[in-house]
């Protein structure tokens, strides 16, 4: 398939919107990562997204809307919590999981009776949704399993020839995907951490929010001794997309955790050793507590190292238990397939 490469000019977005209306696939920038969009209410179009990404069909999509009131097309009941979250965080990188209306195709929600909804804080994304005149289902615009794309060139590398069009916009401001918050249970539950933190959601709601058990269990597993025998089933996540291995670079990756000086020394030692063995080694070591910057750069660094042919990536763990650093660590540990060493 020939992929059209488009700009963010209105005329090009109109072309992209027409493709979406006709059931085609368009990759577009958002403030978090690039998304691969299709008409969320067209089951055949959504099926093509799964195919292009090589994504398992039980993994539901986030539905993007252009006006907060459009959430009414997707769900019936707006609880006071939903309304305050919309007021506080939209447009922005917070996805709300709510009960779905029957008109939302099962394809879009992976067969679940809930739907994930988000109003992105990105001009081109909003223009595209508005001009298409339908909600747009969009997972991240990468091949399933590989790092999320934060730059147009990353999207082109993964999807050129597999989708109808790619809108080339600016690099994504946030760099990691939205926070996913489930509002269908008794307690608001974070299914995927992002730059909108548990603390800020609690402040907006005036009540406690919790993390899905798989997130905290995974962290425990990392802190535990392998001999403790924590089983993989303990991490069975409620969000089907939060798979055990994900965002994986081509290189082997090891996360080094511990006190900062020791982490730096261990990374240096492992780097020298591995280079002596003829391996090309890449290092990811963010400034201490520079979590926003880490979020912005993390996926781009993985992709750059892949294109440089790096064999092994050594990454310094971020010490943060529930803020933006925790969200980046969630991605880092998955990228490394939970391959971690403590110093």
Applying CB under 5 A, which residues contact Mg ion?
140
Q: In angstroms, give the least distance from the CB of 266 to ligand TXA.
A: 32
Cβ atoms 202, 181 nearer than 8 A: no
User: Interface residues for ligand TXA in 54-93 (CB under 6 A)?
Assistant: 59-62, 93
Contact flag: residue 295 with ligand TXA (CB under 6 A): no
* Residues 292, 296, 299, 300, CA torsion sign: negative
Q: How near is the Cβ of 33 to ligand TXA at its closest, in Å?
A: 5
Strand ranges, E, within 185-241? 189-192, 210-211
DSSP state of 292: H
Q: Supply the minimum distance, in Å, between the C-beta of residue 185 and ligand TXA.
A: 11
Residue 118 binds ligand TXA (CB under 6 A): yes
Interface with ligand TXA, residue 115, by CB under 6 A: yes
Please report, for residues 89, 127, 154, 265, the alpha-carbon distance to residue 166 in angstroms, rounded to integers and kept in the order given: 27, 15, 11, 43
Q: Which of 123, 145, 240, 258 binds ligand TXA (CB under 6 A)?
A: 240
Measure the CA–CA gap between 116 and 128, rounded to whole angstroms: 19
**Least distance in angstroms from the C-beta of 335 to Mg ion:** 12
Residue placing its CB nearer to ligand TXA in the complex, 216 or 279: 216
Interaction between residue 30 and ligand TXA (CB under 6 A): yes
Q: Does 6 bind ligand TXA (CB under 6 A)?
A: no
- N- to C-terminal Cα separation, the chain: 49
Residue labelled with tokens 């005149």: 133
Distance, in Å, from the CA atom of 255 to the CA atom of 332, rounded to the nearest integer, reads: 8
- Binding-site size, ligand TXA (CB under 6 A): 30
| Among positions 3, 8, 32, 330, the unique one binding ligand TXA when judged by CB under 6 A | 32
Q: Is 35 a binder of ligand TXA (CB under 6 A)?
A: yes
Q: Applying CB under 6 A, does 241 fall inside the site for ligand TXA?
A: yes
Beta strands in 252-339 (DSSP E): 252-257, 281-284, 312-316
Q: CA-based Rg of the chain, rounded to a whole angstrom?
A: 20
Continuous segment of H or E residues that includes residue 306: helix 291-307
Q: Applying CB under 6 A, does 328 fall inside the site for ligand TXA?
A: no
- Quick check: 97 binds ligand TXA (CB under 6 A)? yes
Burial class for 212, CB neighbours closer than 10 Å (0-12, 13-18, 19+): buried
Q: What angle do CA 56, 60, 65 make, to 5 degrees?
A: 140
97's contact among Mg ion, ligand TXA, none, with CB below 5 to 8 A by partner kind, is ligand TXA
Quick one: 53 or 301, whose CB is closer to Mg ion? 53
For helices 123-132 and 10-21, the axis angle rounded to 10 degrees is 50
Least distance CB 59 / ligand TXA (angstroms)? 5
Tell me the torsion sign for CA atoms 303, 309, 311, 313: negative
Select from 132-140, 151-159, 279-287, 306-314 the region that touches ligand TXA (CB under 6 A): 132-140
Positions in the binding site for ligand TXA (CB under 6 A): 30, 32-33, 35, 59-62, 93, 95, 97, 109, 112, 114-116, 118, 120, 138-140, 177-178, 180, 191-192, 239-242
């Amino acid at each position: 398939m020939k992929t059209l490469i488009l700009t963010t000019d209105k005329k090009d977005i109109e072309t992209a919107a027409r493709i979406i209306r006709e059931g085609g696939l368009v990759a577009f920038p958002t403030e978090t990562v690039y998304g691969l969009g299709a008409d969320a209410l067209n089951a055949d179009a959504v099926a093509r997204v799964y195919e292009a990404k090589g994504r398992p069909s039980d993994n539901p999509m986030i539905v993007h809307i252009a006006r907060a009131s459009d959430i009414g097309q997707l769900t019936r009941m707006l609880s006071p919590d939903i309304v305050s979250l919309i007021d506080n965080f939209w447009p922005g990188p917070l996805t709300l999981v709510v009960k779905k209306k029957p008109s939302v195709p099962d394809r879009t929600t992976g067969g679940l009776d809930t739907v994930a909804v988000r109003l992105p804080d990105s001009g081109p994304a909003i223009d595209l949704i508005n001009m298409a005149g339908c909600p747009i289902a969009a997972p991240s615009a990468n091949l399933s399993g590989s790092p999320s794309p934060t730059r147009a060139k990353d999207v082109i590398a993964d999807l050129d020839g597999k989708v109808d069009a790619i809108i080339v916009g600016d690099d994504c401001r946030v760099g990691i995907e939205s926070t996913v918050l489930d509002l269908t249970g008794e307690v608001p539950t974070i299914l995927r951490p992002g730059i909108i933190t548990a603390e800020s959601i609690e402040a907006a709601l005036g009540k406690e929010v919790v993390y899905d058990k798989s997130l905290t269990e995974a962290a425990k597993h990392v802190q535990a001794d392998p001999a403790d025998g924590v089983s993989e089933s303990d991490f069975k996540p409620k969000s089907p997309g939060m798979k055990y291995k994900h965002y994986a670079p081509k290189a082997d990756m090891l996360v080094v955790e511990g006190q900062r000086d020791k982490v730096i020394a261990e990374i240096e030692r492992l780097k020298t050793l591995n280079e002596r063995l003829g391996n090309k080694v890449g290092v990811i070591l963010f400034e201490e507590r520079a979590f926003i910057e880490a979020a912005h750069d993390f996926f781009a660094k993985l992709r750059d190292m892949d294109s440089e042919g790096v064999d092994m990536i050594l990454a310094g763990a971020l010490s943060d238990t529930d803020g933006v650093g925790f969200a980046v660590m969630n991605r880092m540990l998955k990228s490394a397939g939970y391959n971690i060493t403590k110093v």
